[in-house]
Amino acid sequence: MIEAFHLMEIADKAVNLAVDLGANYADVRIEKEFSTEIRLTNERFDSAVNGIDKGIGVRVLFNGAWGFSSTCSLNSKDVKNAVENAVKAAKATSIRIKERAVLAPVPVIEDKVETPVRESLAAVGIDEKMNLALKVSGVVRGYSHKIVSANIRYEDRAGEKFVSSSEGIKVLMRPSLARLVIMAVAREGEKITSATEPFGLHGGFEVLDWEAIEELALIAAKRADGMLEAHPPPSGRFTVVVNPTLTGTFAHEAVGHASEADLVVAGESILQGKIGQKIGSECVTICDDSLYEKRWGFSVYDDEGVQMQKKIIVDHGVLTAYILNREAAAKLNLTPNGGARAQSYAFRPIVRMSDTYIVPGDSTFEELLEGIRHGVYVKGSRGGEVDPAKGTFQFNAEEAYLIKNGEITTPLLDVSLSGLTLETLSNIDAVAKDFELEPGRCGKEGQLVYAGTGGPHIRIRNAAVGGRA
Amino acid sequence: MDLTKIIKRAEAKGAQQTEVFSFEGRALAAIIESKQVKICEQKVDFGWGLRVALKRNAGYCLGFSYSTEFSNEAIGQTVKQAVKVALIKKSDPDFKSFQPKKPPVTVNGLYDSTILDITPENITELGQRLVKPSTSDKRVKTVRGSAGCGIGKTMIENSLGVSGEYGTTSFWVGVSVVAEEASSVGVGWDEYGNRFYNDRVIEEVASNAKEFSISQLHPKPIRGGTMDLIVAPSREGLPELLLYSFVQGLRADNVQKQQSPFVGKLNQQIGSQELTIIDDAHVPQALGSKPFDDEGCPTQKTVVMEKGVLTSFLHNTYTAYKAGIPSTGNALRIAAFSAKPKYALEPFIGPTNMVIKSGTITQEKLISEVKSGIITRGFIGAHTANPQSGDFSVSTTGAFKIENGEIKHPIKEAMLGGNILDLLKKVELVADDVKHMPYAWYGVDSTLIAPSILVRGAAITG
């Protein structure tokens, strides 16, 4: 508690100094975070690090122009420099700016939120975490002789984050979260395949449930092994059945990014001006849900100290919301919904997703396959990329199968899907009732933040499938 | 900063070998959004990382920790943590030593003192100049980008006598323009990065990006098939395609883990005769240039591919000992998917400046060699490549159709699929329009220096 009080005191001083120096608005984020990162290949640790990162980020508005400054030192001289630098930076922006920023009003909140933790991540020794990684690696490699390696990444973070603003917002958060990413690599002759399964939740070390992890380790191994039999895919347009992981990638990449209001107001999103319009088929509802407890993108407040909300971006095919920060909310005349996040104190908050998913429908998986004469079933994501301005997306599956007459048949290698977001949203004609939500990471403007993606199995008609020729 | 003090403290706690790396950086940038300078940022970061090697059984156990403080208490805790991690690990028989002392090399053009004098007002002015050419054109919908500069100081010391420091500066401008006309959208971009200040490039970068966005308006679909492909030099193009497959495959750690498409391919013809690729840490003013790597090994020029023959992998000290050869000086404290600063990471392996040897013909001549094909500046989705096999499938961005040696029209996205090894074999011509381009997540620490290349018979899906 003394620690937290200390952070709050530094923040208060910094906010006051910024105002004294002429800032019309200032917010300060101070963080002190314990983290562990472990990278294991088979039995060798490429890296195993415990560390404490701390620092302050100061953001100010001067005449509607932004300045930002950060430093990893919390001593009073360095904090003072950081505040002065932020104000100078804002003044330098103000002589160039054309359209001055306005912030939409938000409730002035004073609150303290803490992630419930049974086993503190900082108190659990790094040896225990390293042993967990070794155990997972053993399970993956024990699956079959074709599994040539297991790459295990373990990461956790626990700490304190204090957001304070010149409007009086004071929010202290104590997040705690842990994740394992399990990758199995299989080889037969020249052929190499891999599959990845992540597991991660908010909470203490107790969230890393061994039974669930062991199952995922075996699934990763089985999937990599199975793909050794795969053949190059056909290319062209097909009816595609998409598994929950890739459904999540689509929801995040193609729709989520385009609904980020900073891109919308900058004229860089195809969803600009489309609120209230039908952009997809009736069966599609997409949420960015910051309030899904324990899940990877969960947070009660964002990095502007605004309460985060469950945003229903697409409701039965109709675009209903953007993800907003205060500035974009003011510009669009909307109420802020808590969408401003920063990688750490060293970065300014920008509009980000949290946990993004397609809401389950009422079909069974078998019903999705029914009647497909010649199609493709895609599973697992190797990642994706999107151009929100053009509304194009591209993502690659880890695993795929040919669908023939409603049956899943031959495995296919390195299948990718690409297309136009709006066209694809309209081509989704069935949504299953299953659901998965996975922990991942999202990069935007050089900032990486934790974000979850998921949904049910879905079916897309007339999707562009490509692959290596 | 006294790194020797830290080494002594670690030795007192039982470390047979010790290495301390420190980095201090300052950055100043103007960020452009919505056709204007939106925010100016100033950042300071510093810290140090400690590696210890403790002898046990047939080898050593390695431990690492880091801190952003220099107090006796912080040093004590960091040493304790590094030793603790080492004691948990199994002894590694492949670890022989940290980097031994070698004659230092001198690299010129790392530091431009002009950059020390850049103020927030200066940088926001550069940002405004980047936007200017776009403001007069009604078709330009928006402009995003940044202008920035940085100052860094890197220090290293180890218990084997390695001791060094160097200062660097960096300067970068980049801009991305979205044009719109009759509901058609075109995206264009350009960038420049160097260790030296050079504001004379700004107008060119700005107008290139704008012209490019407009030239991308009203694209037409193309019919797929096997056709010629020219990859023009741009940060979204070849650096993207190479980073996630070729570059990761060249890393000796990946090779030794059997996770590279180049396993067993050393000294074999894997690329076209036209391709010579050198990792060169000594290119004057290039962002990847430096006198020693992040383990204190003097840097060099390493020919990784000579006329298509794979001649070397990229090594750090650990992989070099394991392979029984000298390190190539490619230790780099940057890791994919890690948000940590350099000092908080153990050394991995990465490129410095990867130079594709320039050809002698112009890009124009290269285009004239193509009967039917496409030219592209960028790829989308390159990070989804399979680094173990080198297989990839990407979409093009900023691409045009070429017919009978002439650029005809912009194209709607096309997909390119294949394997990086296969693609490298099909490179038939290399032009002379060399450009310095940053590699995405290596930030300002690695570059690709390359011209346009012509690939014969690429698999394109329309």
- For residue B46, the domain's CATH number is 3.30.2290.10
pLDDT tops 50 at residue B250: yes
Which amino acid, B34? S
Residue of A nearest to B91 (CA): A44
Provide the chain A residues 219-238 that lie in CB contact (below 8 A) with chain B: 235-236
The predicted-structure confidence for B136-174, as pLDDT tens digits, reads as follows: 899 999 999 999 999 999 999 999 999 999 999 999 999
Contact assignment for A93 to B339 by CB distance below 8 Å: no
Of A242-251, B224-233, B389-398, where does mean pLDDT reach its minimum? B389-398
The predicted-structure confidence for B90-114, as pLDDT tens digits, reads as follows: 899 999 999 999 999 999 999 999 9
- B211 and B348 together in one domain: no
Q: Is A64 on the interface with B (CB under 8 A)?
A: no
Q: Is A448 on the interface with B (CB under 8 A)?
A: yes
pLDDT tops 90 at residue A414: no
The predicted-structure confidence for A128-179, as pLDDT tens digits, reads as follows: 999 999 999 999 999 999 999 999 999 999 999 999 999 999 999 999 999 9
- B300 and B417 together in one domain: yes
Which of B192, B215, B238 terminates a domain? The answer is B215
In chain A, residues with a C-beta closer than 8 Å to the C-beta of B335 are 39, 47
Contact assignment for B413 to A392 by CB distance below 8 Å: yes
Residue of B nearest to A67 (CA): B40
Mean pLDDT of A83-95: 98
Q: What is the DSSP letter of B388?
A: T
Integer-rounded Cα Rg, in Å, for chain B is 23
Q: Is A97 on the interface with B (CB under 8 A)?
A: yes
Integer-rounded Cα Rg, in Å, for chain A is 23
In a domain, B115, yes or no: yes
Specify the 3-state DSSP secondary structure of B195: coil
Q: What is the DSSP letter of A232?
A: P
- B158 and B195 together in one domain: yes
Contact partners, residue B195, CB within 8 Å, separation at least 6: B109, B110, B111, B112, B168, B169, B170, B171, B285, B286, B287, B289
The number of distinct structural domains making up chain B is: 2
- B189 and B298 together in one domain: no
- B198 and B240 together in one domain: no
Q: Among candidates B125, B143, B120, B130, which has minimal Cα distance to B43?
A: B120
The predicted-structure confidence for A36-60, as pLDDT tens digits, reads as follows: 999 999 999 999 999 999 999 999 9
Angstrom distance (rounded) from CA A324 to CA A193:
40
- B170 and B231 together in one domain: no
Provide the chain A residues 246-265 that lie in CB contact (below 8 A) with chain B: 262, 265
Mean pLDDT of A403-429: 92
- B191 and B233 together in one domain: no
Q: pLDDT band for position A2 (50/70/90)?
A: very low
Contact partners, residue A77, CB within 8 Å, separation at least 6: none
- B380 and B235 together in one domain: yes
Smallest CA–CA distance, residue A23 to chain B, in Å, is: 14
Best mutation site among A394, A423, A447 for testing chain B: the one with the most B CBs within 10 Å? A394
* pLDDT, averaged across chain A: 94
Contact partners, residue B389, CB within 8 Å, separation at least 6: A191, A192, A193, B261, B419
The predicted-structure confidence for A261-312, as pLDDT tens digits, reads as follows: 999 999 899 999 999 999 999 999 999 999 999 999 999 999 999 999 999 9
Q: Does CATH number 3.30.2290.10 belong to domain A2-229?
A: yes
Q: Are the C-beta atoms of residues A179 and A206 closer than 8 Å to each other?
A: no
Which of B193, B215, B237 terminates a domain? The answer is B215
In a domain, B382, yes or no: yes
Contact assignment for B81 to A464 by CB distance below 8 Å: no
Angstrom distance (rounded) from CA A277 to CA A219:
41
Q: Domain limits at B406?
A: 225-461
Q: Is A90 on the interface with B (CB under 8 A)?
A: yes
Smallest CA–CA distance, residue A363 to chain B, in Å, is: 30
Residue of B nearest to A68 (CA): B41
Angstrom distance (rounded) from CA A244 to CA A379:
8
Best mutation site among A253, A390, A395, A444 for testing chain B: the one with the most B CBs within 10 Å? A390
Provide the chain A residues 8-27 that lie in CB contact (below 8 A) with chain B: none
In a domain, B303, yes or no: yes
In a domain, B220, yes or no: no
- B242 and B279 together in one domain: yes
- B317 and B432 together in one domain: yes
In a domain, B236, yes or no: yes
In chain B, residues with a C-beta closer than 8 Å to the C-beta of A376 are none
In a domain, B282, yes or no: yes
Residue of A nearest to B24 (CA): A72
pTM: 0.95
The predicted-structure confidence for B349-403, as pLDDT tens digits, reads as follows: 999 999 999 999 999 999 999 999 999 999 988 888 888 888 888 889 999 999 9
Smallest CA–CA distance, residue B398 to chain A, in Å, is: 12
Could you say which of B40, B45, B381 has the minimum Cβ distance to residue A384?
B381
pLDDT value at position A4?
67
Q: Is the ipTM of this complex over 0.90?
A: yes
In a domain, B408, yes or no: yes
pLDDT tops 90 at residue B20: yes
Q: Which two tokens stand for residue A334?
A: 């909307």
Q: Among candidates B175, B167, B441, B267, which has minimal Cα distance to A383?
A: B441
Domain ranges for chain A: 2-229, 236-467
- B318 and B454 together in one domain: yes
